[in-house]
Amino acid sequence: MEKSLLMLFSWMLVVAACLGFGASTIFNQSRFGKLPRGEELERLKQSPNYGEGTFQYPISTPIFSQNVTTFSIICNSFLSKHERLVPDEPLPTVKTDLKELDPQQDIVVWLGHSAWFVQLDGKRILIDPILSGYAAPFSFINRAFDGTTIYQPEDMPEIDCLLISHDHWDHLDYPTVKALQAKVKQVICPLGIGISFEYWGYPKEKVHEKDWYDKVAIDHGVIIHLLPARHYSRRLFAKNRTLWAGFALQGLKSSIFFSGDSGHGSHFSDIGQTFNGFDLALLDCGQYDQRWSYIHMTPEEAAQAAQDLGARTLIPSHVGRFTIANHPWDEPFKRIADASRNRSYRLVTPRIGEPVTVGVSLSRVSYWWLEMNQL
């Protein structure tokens, strides 16, 4: 009996050791990045947005609503039926040659989800690019919708500035930033993320790690401002050890606001007053759920945020390529279209890859998701 128990205990130790070794091997992969430590961490602690061991939004912003847990969300995802989370057919796209755009025009090109190619005063800027076909640590998780992975790293021109809003997998895509490294002249990111870029081989002098309300000037008058967002950060287990942000892009002719991931908050009206409005706002309005209502906006809240910002044009963001929430994939487009009626701004809903010239009125706003359903 004692011999059998000893054998069982020995096998349990072997299994535990194998699991521990496997977990260590997985979580030590480069894709998980690095967290600030030592002197670097001490520097971050000087931020006015750092307190009690983490970065914080000025008012309480829990990830989940009361009585909601990660376990309950996982159970709901697997046990409850959710319809039309992904399109029945490939999404329509327009593959614009980004290398041949007129440098005299200020243009934005939606790359799907929260990824944007921006041309401002001739400068080429990438925001939260995810050119791989998944938004997760591993390729079999959270696959992109069919037809939406139309750009590859080789399709990108030289990038004057790469902007990363935070460290979540659907915004900081390791395969993409590694593949683009030779093309990127400089990186601008919130506090704490720079160490991952250095770990991945980016020269330290190319990485500008900034706090909210800091700014970085690019040649020819383009200024990038880091601004507050109501969200959180976590690439693996440690929560809010790095900062998250939105961006204001100021050019000589145009101004663009990108919210990053954000719940609604007073920061939108504060930013609108500070910058006297924007020609274009790219706002988080997909992947909403009442269970995480503090950290993502509903389309109706995004419509209000566009007015708070004094935006003259709104384009939806954080939508249209991946399923993170349990609403139908096209519901955010329908709701933002309804919520934008009789507003002070103009709603524009381009296809992935379709260029939009900032400040130029379009003769027709295409509700392409409705056309898709009629096919």
Give the Cβ contact number of residue 49 at 10 Å: 20
User: What burial letters (b/e) apply to 183-213, b meaning 16+ CB within 10 Å?
Assistant: bbebbbbbbbbbbbbbeeebeeeebbbbbbe
For residues 310 and 68, is the Cβ–Cβ distance under 8 A? no
What secondary structure does DSSP assign to 73-106, as a single string? HHHHHHHS----SS-SSPPPB----GGGS-TTS-
DSSP β-bridge partners for residue 110: 116
**pLDDT bucket at 266, cuts 50 / 70 / 90:** very high
**pLDDT bucket at 90, cuts 50 / 70 / 90:** very high
pTM for the model stands at 0.91
Q: Taking residues 51-78, what's their average pLDDT?
A: 79
226 burial type by CB count under 10 A (0-12 exposed, 13-18 middle, 19+ buried):
buried
**pLDDT bucket at 11, cuts 50 / 70 / 90:** very low
Q: Taking residues 183-192, what's their average pLDDT?
A: 98
Residue 265 has pLDDT above 50, yes or no: yes
**pLDDT bucket at 47, cuts 50 / 70 / 90:** very high
**pLDDT bucket at 18, cuts 50 / 70 / 90:** very low
Q: Which of 239, 241, 222, 292 is nearest to 264 (CA)?
A: 292
SS3 of residue 258 by DSSP: strand
**pLDDT bucket at 9, cuts 50 / 70 / 90:** very low
Pairwise CA distance, residues 196 & 177, whole Å:
11
The secondary structure of residue 346, as a DSSP letter, is E
pLDDT higher at 145 or 140? 145
Residues near 203 by beta carbon (within 8 Å), at least 6 away in sequence: none
At 219 the pLDDT is 81
Least confident of 16-30, 150-164, 356-370: 16-30
Which residue is it, tokens 């910002």?
Answer: 309
* Span 294-341, pLDDT tens digits: 999 999 999 999 999 999 999 999 999 999 999 999 999 999 999 999
Least confident of 180-184, 270-274, 315-319, 357-361: 357-361
**pLDDT bucket at 365, cuts 50 / 70 / 90:** low
The secondary structure of residue 59, as a DSSP letter, is S
Give the Cβ contact number of residue 181 at 10 Å: 17
Least confident of 53-67, 151-165, 309-323: 53-67
Q: Which of 136, 218, 214 is nearest to 172 (CA)?
A: 136
State the architecture of 98-373 in CATH terms: 4-Layer Sandwich (3.60)
Q: Taking residues 85-107, what's their average pLDDT?
A: 95
Pairwise CA distance, residues 322 & 341, whole Å:
26
Residue 375 has pLDDT above 60, yes or no: no
For residues 143 and 134, is the Cβ–Cβ distance under 8 A? yes
The percentage of the chain sitting over the pLDDT mark of 70, rounded to a whole number, equals 86
At 69 the pLDDT is 64
Least confident of 64-68, 104-108, 181-185: 64-68
Residue 10 has pLDDT above 80, yes or no: no
Pairwise CA distance, residues 189 & 208, whole Å:
6
Phi-psi region of 147 (alpha: psi -120 to 50; beta: other; left: phi over 0): left
Q: What is the mean pLDDT of the chain?
A: 89
**Domain ranges across the chain:** 98-373
**pLDDT bucket at 17, cuts 50 / 70 / 90:** very low
Q: Taking residues 144-173, what's their average pLDDT?
A: 98
pLDDT higher at 374 or 59? 59
Q: Which of 353, 163, 300, 312 is nearest to 244 (CA)?
A: 163
Q: Taking residues 225-244, what's their average pLDDT?
A: 96
The H or E element containing residue 322 is none
Token pair recorded at residue 49: 């947005």
Pairwise CA distance, residues 198 & 234, whole Å:
18
**pLDDT bucket at 5, cuts 50 / 70 / 90:** very low
Residue 363 has pLDDT above 60, yes or no: no
Residue 16 has pLDDT above 50, yes or no: no
